[in-house]
Amino acid sequence: MASELVTAWRPRVPGVAEVFHAHFVDHAYPVHVHDAWAVLIVDDGAIRFDLDRHHRGASGAASVTILPPGVPHDGRAATTHGFRKRVVYLDAAVLPATLSGAAVDAPGLDDPLLRLRIHQLHQALDHPGDELEAESRLALIRGRLREHLDRHFVASAVPRPRRLADELRDLLDANTAAGITLRDAGALLGSHPGHLVRAFTATFGLPPHRYLVSRRIDQARRLLLAGRRPADVAAEAGFHDQAHLHRHFKRHLGVTPGAYARLGRVS
């Protein structure tokens, strides 16, 4: 079994430059810099690294590590069996450059909720078709990172939350199959993606991505009961592919799309 395993990809999610999963035992990073914010969690083992000539470390506990753009650092295993980590590289503009100093001073954030949200972000990023969920989770992560790195930061109140939520729902209803990013929705509605998520969730009791999936499931149900093939239904209802439809459909209804389609044929 190989001791060094790496998976990397660039998802179609605004603000995410790259996703990087790795299991390293012997590999040691030389001193290098990134042009993005590196937000990492360690799933097993521990890491030692120097950041701007300061000795640091990260382990698989509740902590999150954030490394700012342009700051030299290295990295190596701190245990004999190495470490497993998941990293999401965020575009430099996702967080203000003025927060780099705070990240250098304290790159380790002991925040179980933040770690959970980052884990959920990776789960969404691992499934093509769940980009709106990933973008929603990133909006919440961005706000929480700012709270940690800027002691003067106070999340601003969401302006006209009910109206904003209604307008976003209208956009989702009009783009159920095609989809829409929070960034594009925010540009149309004159609001920040984080405000959109907070307003929608507070108003309707579920985040925008879950609302969109439920609308797509409703459309898929109607098409399946009309005798359409699951593969065709997936594309028409806005799912990435048949596997994407299958996963969400069974989670919502407890049966596969194929089994549900057979209900329509026996009625």
The contacts of residue 63 (CB under 8 Å, 6+ apart) are 41, 42, 108, 109, 110, 111, 115
Same fold flag, 5-149 and 210-266: no
Phi, psi (deg, nearest 5) at residue 247: -65, -50
Q: Domain boundaries in the chain?
A: 5-149, 161-205, 210-266
Which residues does residue 36 pair with via DSSP β-bridges, in sequence order?
A: 91
What is the per-residue pLDDT for 56? 83
Q: What is the rounded distance in angstroms from the CA atom of residue 248 to the CA atom of residue 237? A: 12
CATH 2.60.120.10 is right for the domain spanning 5-149 = yes
CB 139 within 8 A of CB 180: no
Q: What average pLDDT score do residues 194-211 get?
A: 95
Residue 13 scores a pLDDT above 50: yes
Strand 36-51 to 73-77 pairing: antiparallel
Residue 86 scores a pLDDT above 50: yes
Residue 186 scores a pLDDT above 90: yes
Residue 48 scores a pLDDT above 80: yes
> How high does pLDDT run on average in the chain?
92
End-to-end CA distance of the chain: 53
Cα torsion angle, 232, 233, 239, 243, sign? negative
Give the amino acid at 126.
D
Looking at the domain 210-266, which fold is it? Arc Repressor Mutant, subunit A (1.10.10)
Considering only residues 223 and 59, tell me which one the structure prediction assigns the higher pLDDT. 223
The contacts of residue 158 (CB under 8 Å, 6+ apart) are 164, 195, 198, 199, 202
SS3 154: coil
What is the per-residue pLDDT for 60? 62
How large is the C-alpha radius of gyration of the chain?
21
Report pLDDT digits (tens) over 207-230: 999 999 999 999 999 999 999 999
